């Protein structure tokens, strides 16, 4: 709205004075914040890196800024984070998970802003939902191990958040369908997933008695730790024990042996959630289909092999 010459003078003055606009005043004047709240379970867990990267790369070019908060896998902290973000007058909300507290759901429904729940599917979304079936993914990963002839299949995990529980339910359902023992074969500790935790869980499991012939790990960090512990004990993978991970983090294909795992569409979820939120902000209308199932892929690599029928 000004001439190029005046624009140059303004830019020079802004740089010389280190001027920063008062965004709070701008928001009051325009009733717009161009901010999108994003609540993730953890800022240190690598599974959210690609997810957040695509949220940023989708929102920023269109003038929207993600405001990222962590819930630390706590429903109570997630509720407080949602309250805080709504107090900042964000224009949309993107959440990891679908099991918010009743109060958090009420707050989001009353806000009338676009809300996208991700990482899992639900029959009762708050508004819109992008993800895949964690339970079915756990079922199919376990079926791969069963299909290789494994009968003693254990499950190990760190803290059992909602998505880990769904994977374990799928694991148990697959064993039940195959009429294999599922009770007493799952071990977890209420700690954040890590490679060292995977080693600890595997060590405790192997020291407890007869080793299983396959281990389904809740995620790739746990799986890599279990692999290291088996190698430390001289147990061949997959000759003696097959190991299955989950999420397909970058190191999974590079490990030796490479980790069989479930490829989850984390980047695609971030992009689809951001695009849905922007679409509703721009049009004021929800799409006809409010749920997007992005699916997953079970990938067999070198850490799983045929059962050796060990007695």
Q: Is the pLDDT of residue 1 over 80?
A: no
Instruction: Count Cα atoms within 13 angstroms, Cβ side, for 88.
Output: 20
d(CA 139, CA 155): 12
Q: In the prediction, which pLDDT does 311 show?
A: 46
Q: In the prediction, which pLDDT does 138 show?
A: 98
d(CA 33, CA 42): 25
Name the residue with higher pLDDT: 192 or 27: 192
Q: Is the pLDDT of residue 304 over 60?
A: yes
Q: In the prediction, which pLDDT does 155 show?
A: 97
Q: In the prediction, which pLDDT does 16 show?
A: 84
Give the rounded percent of residues in the chain with a pLDDT score beyond 90. Answer: 85
Computed over every residue of the chain, the mean pLDDT equals: 94
Q: How many CB atoms lie within 10 A of CB 221?
A: 26
Helix 266-283 vs helix 49-59: crossing angle, to nearest 10: 30
User: What's the pTM?
Assistant: 0.88
List C-alpha distances in Å: 202 to 168, 197, 304.
17, 8, 16
Q: Which domains does the chain have, with CATH numbers?
A: 34-132+266-295 (3.40.50.2300), 134-263 (3.40.50.2300)
Q: In the prediction, which pLDDT does 27 show?
A: 53
List C-alpha distances in Å: 80 to 39, 119, 131, 223.
11, 20, 24, 33
Which residues lie below 8 Å from residue 13, measured CB to CB, with a gap of 6+?
19
Whether 308 and 213 have beta carbons less than 8 Å apart is answered as yes
Q: First vs last Cα of the chain: how many Å apart?
A: 81
**β-bridge partners, 95:** 39, 117
d(CA 118, CA 238): 34
Q: In the prediction, which pLDDT does 247 show?
A: 97
List C-alpha distances in Å: 108 to 73, 86, 102, 165, 270.
19, 8, 10, 25, 19
The values of phi and psi at residue 180, to 5°, are: -110, 155
Q: How many CB atoms lie within 10 A of CB 19?
A: 10
Q: In the prediction, which pLDDT does 208 show?
A: 83
Q: In the prediction, which pLDDT does 143 show?
A: 98
């Amino acid at each position: 709205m000004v001439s190029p010459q005046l624009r140059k003078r303004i830019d020079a003055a802004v740089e010389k004075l280190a001027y920063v606009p008062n965004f709070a005043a701008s928001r009051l004047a325009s009733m717009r914040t161009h901010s999108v709240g994003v609540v993730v379970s953890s800022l240190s867990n690598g599974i959210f890196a690609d997810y957040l990267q695509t949220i940023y790369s989708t929102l920023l070019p269109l003038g929207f800024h993600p405001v990222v908060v962590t819930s630390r896998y706590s429903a109570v902290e997630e509720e407080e984070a949602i309250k805080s973000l709504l107090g900042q007058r964000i224009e949309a909300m993107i959440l990891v998970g679908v099991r918010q507290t009743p109060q958090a759901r009420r707050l989001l429904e009353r806000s009338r802003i676009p809300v996208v729940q991700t990482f899992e599917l639900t029959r009762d979304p708050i508004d819109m939902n992008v993800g895949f079936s964690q339970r079915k993914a756990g079922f199919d990963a376990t079926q791969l191990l069963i299909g290789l002839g494994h009968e003693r299949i254990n499950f190990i995990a760190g803290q059992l958040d909602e998505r880990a529980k769904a994977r374990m339910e799928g694991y148990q359902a697959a064993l039940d369908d195959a009429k294999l023992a599922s009770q007493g074969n799952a071990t977890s500790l209420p700690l954040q997933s890590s490679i060292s935790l995977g080693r600890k869980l595997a060590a405790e499991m192997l020291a407890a008695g007869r080793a299983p012939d396959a281990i389904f790990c809740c995620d790739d960090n746990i799986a890599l730790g279990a692999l290291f512990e088996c190698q430390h004990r001289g147990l061949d993978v997959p000759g003696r024990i097959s190991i299955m991970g989950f999420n397909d983090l970058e190191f999974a294909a590079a490990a030796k042996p490479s980790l069989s795992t479930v490829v989850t569409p984390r980047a695609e979820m971030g992009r689809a959630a951001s695009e849905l939120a922007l679409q509703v902000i721009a049009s004021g209308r929800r799409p006809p289909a409010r749920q997007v199932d992005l699916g997953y892929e079970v990938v067999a690599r070198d850490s799983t092999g045929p059962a050796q029928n060990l007695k």
